[in-house]
Amino acid sequence: MLSDLRAQLTKHLEESLKRNLPSGVVLPPVDLDFPAQRLHGEFSANIALKSAKLLRKAPAVIAEEFRGIFQDSLTDTPFQNKIAKIEVKNPGFINFFLTPLALFGILEEIFKAKNDYGRCDCGRGQKVQVEFVSANPTGPLSVAHARQAAVGDALAHILDFLGFKATREYYINDGGNQINLLGESIRCRAIELLGGEASLPENGYQGEYIKDMAREFITKAGIKTLEKLASQDRVNFKNYGVEYLLSVIRKDLEDFNVRFECWTNESKVATKENIAAVLNLLEEKGFLYEKDGALWFKSTHFGDDKDRVVKKSDGSYTYLLPDIVYHKNKYERGFTKIINIWGPDHHGYIPRIKAAVQALGKSPDSLNVLIVQLATIYRDGKPVSMSTRRGEFISLREVIDEVGVDAARFFFLMRHIDAHLDFDLELAKKETPENPVYYIQYAHARIHSINKKAGETGLRQKEKGFSLLKEPEELELIKRLGSFPDSLMICYHELDPYALMSYLHELAMTFHRFYDQHRVIGEDPELSCERLALANATKIVLANGLRLLGLSTPERM
RNA sequence: GUCCCUGUAGCUCAGUUGGACAGAGCAUCAGCCUUCUAAGCUGAGGGUCGCACGUUCGAUUCGUGCCAGGGACGCCA
């Protein structure tokens, strides 16, 4: 809303300058900023500063001249009753102040749109795929996956709200060596359970959960002797393990309120035929060559550091090849924008997959790889060290059980995705002001409380025709409500839900200040109606934002 | 060694495509609950924005060099 007004005003000012200046003078565009401080108005233009060199005059002089032109141009336009004053400030800023009337439009718009306030069709229905977590089914999900899950889910929600059609996808790596190791690890533990002796393969999985799985395996299959166990096909252990762990993973994610529209198996996508097709395609385009008995992909052609092996000298494929097949498959399913959310350990992998995408004839910009930094878990003030292979790590399940879904999701989203994150388990559980988790939700609960009171006194809110809100705290709050759509656009541009989290925190802060300074339900019934509307408009925006982040909207706390 | 990221208050981090005196939370100190939720609000102290040049009317933001920390560099997945 605020940015709509800004866009209209910008256009109007450009035109009025063009009309009033000698033709042939080409000035830089009029850019209106949202100034950080209220005393600089709602919009601020730096055009005078930018034009100083060109016009060879002091910025302050130009600013004064432009101010006159702008002021005159407002007469008999829709802006007349929306702009309160235009002011020049050193060293040459031209600041615009809005009237309360201009701001009231924001409230009306919120009540008109309600749960859809902030929604737009910027995405024009484009299909976007957000692929995230995609952890190998070789163990329970860790906190690293948990953060990726919180980020990916929120991002998909936001993209949907902005008019894209987002699909959450989990890619199941069920074809690689890791899965074979999993099967072998289970088999070894099963042998031990039956009294035999076995040593885990090198790099085998040592976690306790492997023993649990081995126990369940032999129980279910009714295996009681080592001989019976030895007659089992090794594939059974592997398949059993994948199925078992995937069901655990699904359940964990579901309890974390993350639901994937699509689960894709590597074994179904990277088939022999599809791999051969990709090799043919790359061969035809001249991006493959043989060296040292291996087959190489010429990724340097697209800016990678070095070329990459796709088929090893022993005839087997590297991981890159099925991955190229998978990405080709993504495009074939009609996605115009592909977002991969990876952990930092895959950072170096970006150039080669981007190269692969280009080799397939796609724009490198259509593939966005987001690296979500790790979270360090703190318990008792000390960082917890983790190792997946040794089975020493904090799982998503433990985090959910210990601090709850809301607190966990909040913590994972409270920083930019590329920033390291400290997750203090004790802090996340505390019900004290030190804990940042409940600040936003508390504002929502407070408003619900006001409504309860309003219901008791028979007060009804209005949804248009505002005229009495004029206190600084009230106007600040309305302005903040009006920039909700802008925060969503930042999330889109940065592909990071952080801007929304940050916005909601600021909105809650602005509300708490308003709440503290002014009684909503007071002596004056007319004013009470309008303040109740202001509070409820805030509630709508808070709820919309919290929903997009996957956080709950509690009515009491 | 090559490449990438980071360096802002005691701690954890913001800083909106260069903008007006550098912000928030926590921690410390001082205030505010007979009235809609004090999981809240107000105020104070605390920073040569790693260092040095450069570009600009203007640099935390852009460029170069240096210093410090982290990460990635497999015919592993």
Q: A500 CB contacts (<8 Å, ≥6 apart)?
A: A154, A158, A487, A488, A491, A545, A548, A549
When pLDDT is averaged across residues A260-273 and rounded to a whole number, the result is 95
- pLDDT > 70? residue A136: yes
Instruction: Kindly report the average pLDDT of chain A as a whole number.
Output: 91
Q: What is the pLDDT of residues A318-332, one digit of tens each?
A: 999 999 999 999 999
Q: Which of A461, A463, A462, A469 is nearest to A101 (CA)?
A: A469
Q: B18 C1' – A417 CA distance, angstroms?
A: 25
Using the C1' atom of nucleotide B32, identify the protein residue whose alpha carbon is closest: A516
Q: B20 C1' – A60 CA distance, angstroms?
A: 13
Q: What is the pLDDT of residues A275-308, one digit of tens each?
A: 999 999 999 999 999 999 999 999 989 888 889 9
When pLDDT is averaged across residues A88-100 and rounded to a whole number, the result is 90
When pLDDT is averaged across residues A346-368 and rounded to a whole number, the result is 91
Determine if strand B comes within 7 Å of the CB of A12: no
Is the model more confident about A69 or about A383?
A69
Q: B27 C1' – A435 CA distance, angstroms?
A: 13
Q: What is the pLDDT of residues A195-249, one digit of tens each?
A: 999 888 888 888 889 999 999 999 999 999 999 999 999 999 999 999 999 999 9
Strand B contact residues in chain A (133-152), C-beta within 7 Å: 136
- pLDDT > 80? residue A381: no
Beta-carbon count within 10 A of A146 CB: 28
Q: B11 C1' – A434 CA distance, angstroms?
A: 13
- pLDDT > 80? residue A386: no
Residue for token digits 């917890």? A384
Residue for token digits 């395609």? A281
- For A436-549, CATH number out of 3.30.720.210, 1.10.730.10, 1.10.3720.10, 3.60.21.10 equals 1.10.730.10
Query: Domain ranges in chain A?
Result: 2-98, 177-254, 436-549
Q: B4 C1' – A120 CA distance, angstroms?
A: 36
Q: B5 C1' – A343 CA distance, angstroms?
A: 14
Tokens of residue A415, six digits: 């920083």
- pLDDT > 70? residue A387: no
At residue A521, the pLDDT reads: 95
Q: B11 C1' – A226 CA distance, angstroms?
A: 57
Bridge partners for A421 per DSSP = A375
Residue A76 main-chain phi, psi, to 5 deg: 60, 30
Give the rounded distance of the alpha carbon of A49 from its chain centre.
37
Gyration radius from chain A CA atoms: 30
Between CA A1 and CA A287 the distance in angstroms is 50
pLDDT class of A344 with cuts at 50, 70, 90: confident
Determine if strand B comes within 7 Å of the CB of A442: yes
Measuring from the CA of residue A90 to each C1', which nucleotide is nearest?
Answer: B20
At residue A384, the pLDDT reads: 79
At residue A451, the pLDDT reads: 96
Q: Which of A506, A487, A509 is nearest to A498 (CA)?
A: A487
ipTM for this prediction? 0.93
At residue A142, the pLDDT reads: 87
- pLDDT > 60? residue A391: no
Strand B contact residues in chain A (291-350), C-beta within 7 Å: 291-294, 305-306, 308-309, 312-314, 316-319, 344-349
Determine if strand B comes within 7 Å of the CB of A180: no
Between CA A49 and CA A75 the distance in angstroms is 25
Q: What is the pLDDT of residues A42-85, one digit of tens each?
A: 999 999 988 888 888 888 889 999 999 999 999 999 999 999 99
Alpha helices in A232-367 (DSSP H): 234-255, 266-269, 272-285, 320-332, 350-359
Measuring from the CA of residue A39 to each C1', which nucleotide is nearest?
Answer: B20
At residue A149, the pLDDT reads: 95
At residue A413, the pLDDT reads: 93
Between CA A487 and CA A118 the distance in angstroms is 9
Q: What is the pLDDT of residues A508-517, one digit of tens each?
A: 999 999 999 9
Between CA A253 and CA A373 the distance in angstroms is 19
Q: Which nucleotides of B are covered by protein (CB under 7 A)?
A: 5-6, 12-17, 19-21, 24-27, 35-42, 56-57, 71-77
Determine if strand B comes within 7 Å of the CB of A456: no
At residue A99, the pLDDT reads: 93
Share of chain A above pLDDT 90, in %: 70
Strand B contact residues in chain A (203-262), C-beta within 7 Å: none
When pLDDT is averaged across residues A365-387 and rounded to a whole number, the result is 82
Q: B42 C1' – A411 CA distance, angstroms?
A: 28
The amino acid at A400: I
Measuring from the CA of residue A555 to each C1', which nucleotide is nearest?
Answer: B37
Using the C1' atom of nucleotide B40, identify the protein residue whose alpha carbon is closest: A512
When pLDDT is averaged across residues A459-480 and rounded to a whole number, the result is 92
- pLDDT > 80? residue A392: no
Is the model more confident about A276 or about A39?
A276
CATH 3.30.1360.70 fits domain A2-98: yes
CB A229 within 8 A of CB A218: yes
Determine if strand B comes within 7 Å of the CB of A429: no
At residue A203, the pLDDT reads: 80
Q: What is the pLDDT of residues A145-192, one digit of tens each?
A: 999 999 999 999 999 999 999 999 999 998 878 898 999 999 999 999
Q: Are strands A288-291 and A294-297 parallel, antiparallel or unpaired?
A: antiparallel
